[in-house]
Amino acid sequence: MSVVSKKFSASLYSMLVLLLLCIVTAFSSGCGNKASLDPAKPVTLTIWHVYGNQTNSPFNDTIEKFNASEGKAKGVIVKVASVSSSNVVDKALFASAKQEPGAVPLPDLFTAYPRVIPAMHDKLLHWDEYLDKEDLAVYQLEFLAEGYQDKELLMLPVAKSTELLFVNQTYFDRFAAATGASTDDFADYDKLLRSAASIIPGPAAKTCAS
């Protein structure tokens, strides 16, 4: 396993443990009752996720590791019921939430983008009813923001995507010499779009005129 793969697996494992601890806390603290987990009678939670829609999913490996360690010790077993793409999971969630004919029951857990919140609102756990200010204080507010709708924390963010732009230095040097552009013009997407808008119209106009 490569260093990158090891780091990715470790990240997934940490994310899973955090998520399940939050879920178990939420379930066991409802109505003021502190239900204790029993390793002899484990609780099984089903999950749909989008981490690796292939035969060998790194997240499935992570779940198996959790089930054999922390899950076994605490009495929590996670069962993967579906691995698919985000669009497929969205459609399945909507169908199950609406109880459409042929739809399967909703899972206990799922990974999806916040775009599902409006259609799933009454089916989602209100995290802010179970996590107090001290619990939420460990997160960056900007990170949690995507999980809120109408001041309610309806989805608990567990990952954040990062968009990267790679530039071939040799070709960029030629481009810069012809246009006066610099790498500072690519510092963020706003600057990139402004740079493109200032550079592209000229050649486009000449092409149309010719």
| Domains parsed from the chain with CATH numbers | 3-153 (3.40.190), 169-209 (no CATH)
pLDDT of residue 125: 86
Task: Give the DSSP letter of residue 126.
Answer: -
pLDDT tens digits, 128-168: 887 788 878 888 888 888 889 888 999 988 777 677 778 88
For the chain, the first-to-last Cα distance in angstroms comes to 56
pTM of the model: 0.65
User: Given CA atoms 134, 139, 143, 146 in this order, what sign does their dihedral have?
Assistant: negative
Q: What's the CA gap between 70 and 132, in Å, rounded?
A: 24
pLDDT of residue 31: 41
pLDDT tens digits, 107-131: 988 988 889 999 898 899 888 887 7
